[in-house]
Structure 1
Amino acid sequence: MTESPLATRTLVGHNRVSTQALTSLARAAAAEQFGVRPGEVRASWTDDAGLLALSIISPIAVPDLGDVAGVEDVVAAAGSVWERATAAKAAILHQVSGLSGAQLSRVDIRIAGVRPPLGQKARVA
Structure 2
Amino acid sequence: MSQAAEAATPSRLYSGHNRISTQALTSLAKAAAAESLGVPAHDVRAEWSDDDGLLALSLVTPIKIPGLTAVIRDPERVSVFGGSIWQRAVSAKSDILTKVTELSGARLSRVDIRISGAHVTERGRVR
Name the TM tier (shorter chain).
0.7 to 0.9
- Larger proportion of helix: 2
Give me the CA root mean square deviation.
1.7
Q: Which residue of the other structure, out of 35, 41, 45, is the alignment partner of 1:42?
A: 45
Instruction: Give how far 1:12 is off.
Output: 1.2
| Structure with max Cα Rg | 2
TM-score, length-normalised on structure 2? Answer: 0.85
Q: In the alignment, residue 14 of structure 1 is paired with which amino acid?
A: H
Q: Which residue of the other structure, out of 102, 106, 120, is the alignment partner of 1:116?
A: 120
Match of 2:31 in 1: 28
Find the aligned partners of 1:104 and 1:27 in 2 and give their Cα distance.
Answer: 15
Instruction: Give how far 1:24 is off.
Output: 0.1
Find the aligned partners of 1:30 and 1:76 in 2 and give their Cα distance.
Answer: 19
Confirm or deny that 1:94 pairs with 2:98. yes
Q: In the alignment, residue 42 of structure 1 is paired with which amino acid?
A: R
1:10-29 equivalences under 5 Å are 10=11, 11-29=14-32
Percent identity over paired residues: 54
TM-score, length-normalised on structure 1? Answer: 0.87
Structure 2: state its 5+ residue gaps.
none
Instruction: Give how far 1:34 is off.
Output: 0.9
Q: Which residue of the other structure, out of 76, 95, 109, is the alignment partner of 1:105?
A: 109
Instruction: Give how far 1:124 is off.
Output: 5.4
